[in-house]
């Protein structure tokens, strides 16, 4: 499950890296080097982006506030760092709890109707791919079973000379690597070709 993989990687970074990074930020002073501020800035910038994509607004805002100071080579206030550390710990706990709950829950399934002729099939796959595009652009949960079912449906189009197999493989590989821009780009090309062929 793509969304779960992202969250698992996020909490791994929280536990293995980011808590140590906060400790290093606490040691910053007006005498710290530009390289030290730059390293801290990269951390807060990364957390800001990931937290924003995962809709963790308080953490994203706290990271953004730190980011602005660090870009100016200004050490953060102790209260800022204390709040940031607290939000990181809360985020870790909430995500970890959610992942445990998902692990014990039955897997989600997507039911697809097989009724209709070729025209209905074209509309169905286009609708599903557009839905997937919306999920990718909104960083929403994407179930592995959804991707597998789209793969099975798309096999009907592999022989039509529209590179459906190559483009879809690019989409799934990009999603596995959490490269959502690449996934959206390849998916849009696939949609364009399917729409032209339908």
Q: What is the pLDDT along the chain (198 residues), one digit of tens a residue?
A: 566 777 778 878 877 787 788 888 999 999 999 999 999 999 998 888 888 877 788 998 999 999 999 999 999 999 999 999 999 888 888 887 877 776 654 443 333 333 333 343 455 778 788 888 887 887 666 777 778 888 888 887 776 566 788 899 999 988 887 788 898 899 999 888 887 776
Kindly state whether residues 99 and 62 are assigned to the same domain: yes
Domain count, the chain: 2
Kindly state whether residues 6 and 80 are assigned to the same domain: yes
In a domain, residue 110? The reply is no
Kindly state whether residues 23 and 91 are assigned to the same domain: yes
Global pTM value: 0.52
- Cβ pair 154, 164 in contact under 8 A: yes
**Could you give the CA distance from residue 51 to residue 45 in angstroms, rounded to a whole number?**
10
CATH number at residue 95: 1.20.120.160
Q: What is the largest CA-CA distance in the chain?
A: 72
- Residue 100: both structure tokens together: 């445990």
What is the residue range of 192's domain? 118-197
């Amino acid at each position: 499950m793509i969304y779960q993989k992202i969250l698992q990687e996020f909490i791994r970074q929280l536990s293995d890296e980011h808590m140590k990074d906060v400790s290093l930020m606490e040691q910053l002073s007006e005498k710290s080097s530009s390289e030290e501020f730059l390293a801290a800035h990269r951390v807060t910038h990364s957390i800001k982006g990931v937290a924003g994509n995962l809709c963790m607004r308080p953490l994203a805002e706290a990271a953004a506030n730190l980011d602005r100071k660090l870009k100016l080579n200004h050490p953060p206030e102790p209260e800022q760092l204390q709040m940031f550390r607290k939000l990181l710990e809360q985020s870790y706990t909430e995500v970890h709890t959610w992942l445990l709950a998902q692990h014990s829950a039955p897997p989600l399934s997507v039911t697809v109707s097989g009724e209709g002729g070729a025209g209905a099939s074209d509309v169905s796959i286009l609708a599903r791919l557009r839905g997937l595009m919306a999920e990718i652009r909104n960083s929403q949960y994407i179930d592995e079973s959804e991707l597998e079912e789209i793969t099975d449906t798309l096999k009907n189009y592999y022989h039509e000379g529209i590179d459906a197999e190559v483009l879809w493989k690019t989409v799934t590989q990009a999603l596995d690597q959490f490269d959502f821009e690449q996934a959206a780009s390849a998916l849009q090309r696939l949609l364009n070709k399917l729409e032209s062929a339908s």
